[in-house]
Amino acid sequence: MKTNALHMVGAINEALRQEMTKDERVVVYGEDVGVDGGVFRVTDGLHAEFGDQRCFDSPLAESGIVGTAIGLAINGMRPVVEIQFSGFLFEAFAQIMCHAVRVRNRSRGRFSCPMVIRTPYSGGIKALEHHIESEEAYLAHLAGLKVVIPSTPFDAKGLLLAAIRDPDPVVFFEPKRLYRSFKQEVPEQDYIIPIGKAALVREGTDLTLIAYGAMIRECHEAAALAEKEGISCQIVDVRTISPIDRETIIAAVQSTGRAIIVQEAPKSFSVASEIMSFLYENLFQSLKAPIARVTGFDVVNPMARGEDLYLPNQSRVFQEIKKVMG
């Protein structure tokens, strides 16, 4: 099997290119995604290769991008649209909430809305206000929507291919600090990583770290620190926020009896809150310690000069591991 060392940007680009080659219903559009190849160069070269009928710039209008994609999806296309930064998803939120996620249910299956909204997301690169936030909880609350967040180039390619082929709408959050932070061997061939499945990405026996996106790397580093102190941590990469893979997460925590959930988003009413809830509902009797959370804070996401105060990091995760282990 031939592989190439790719950044996440390259892996996503490869997934788009391969699926556009394979399925002529796939069209890619958004702000600056055409000639410019996107502000993060995720769509680099697609306009040149496929022409302006398949990959093109749209007017600067997020509701317009998503709303027209809904129409395209209803009428037989497979739109993959980009919202330039996830902070601008809210301009399109009404179209997502009132329409994209309801097309199938509203029409009792007569129509469906197979589309992907890709968007660079979350913090860690000292970007501008509205370019650093973590919005997954807003989206995960919508029945009828799938929410995916990859943590590696390999996962990004397989999850994006699964998202484009999914019969229902998917929001695909791309942690922008991972775009070019490391390379990984990514198979050239076509493969999918199923949506709705979490993955055990580090074996361990004492404690389960549950995270996704850019926080997976912080967890790996914290687990390495813990190992030096004789604490064995396993890590579950949630990968799909909604529908979340309860089975894998519960089984993992059952095996260790201890859990810490790590996310960048604010603590309250969050994905971590939901994971904590179903862990308690299912494992209350078998837990060896209270479940803990390492998260952003219930404040407005600080801009660049305060970002390090806000974002969870290996140090905060490691401190929490020691606390939970008592």
Q: Which residues bind other proteins (CB under 8 A)?
A: 27, 53, 58-59, 61, 63-64, 66-77, 79, 94-95, 98-99, 104-112, 143-144, 146, 167-168, 196, 243-244, 246-247
Is 88 in contact with 62 (CB distance < 8 Å)?
Answer: yes
Between 8 and 252, CB nearer to other proteins: 252
Q: Residue 202 Cβ, how far from other proteins at the closest point, in Å?
A: 24
Token pair for 14: 């490869």
The helix or strand, by DSSP H or E, that contains position 199, with its residue range, turns out to be strand 199-202
Between 246 and 316, CB nearer to other proteins: 246
Specify whether 131 is catalytic: yes
Q: Residue 286 Cβ, how far from other proteins at the closest point, in Å?
A: 20
Question: Distance of CA 257 to CAs 143, 200, 245, 302, Å?
Answer: 31, 15, 18, 35
Between 243 and 257, CB nearer to other proteins: 243
Q: How many residues does the chain have?
A: 326
Kindly give the pairing relationship between strand 26-30 and strand 55-57: parallel
DSSP summary character for residue 41: S
Q: Residue 295 Cβ, how far from other proteins at the closest point, in Å?
A: 22
Between 30 and 175, CB nearer to other proteins: 30
Of 7, 131, 141, 220, the active-site residue reads 131
Largest CA distance in the chain: 60
Is 57 in contact with 34 (CB distance < 8 Å)?
Answer: yes
Q: Residue 68 Cβ, how far from other proteins at the closest point, in Å?
A: 4
Torsion sign over Cα 123, 121, 301, 279: negative
Q: What residues act catalytically?
A: 131
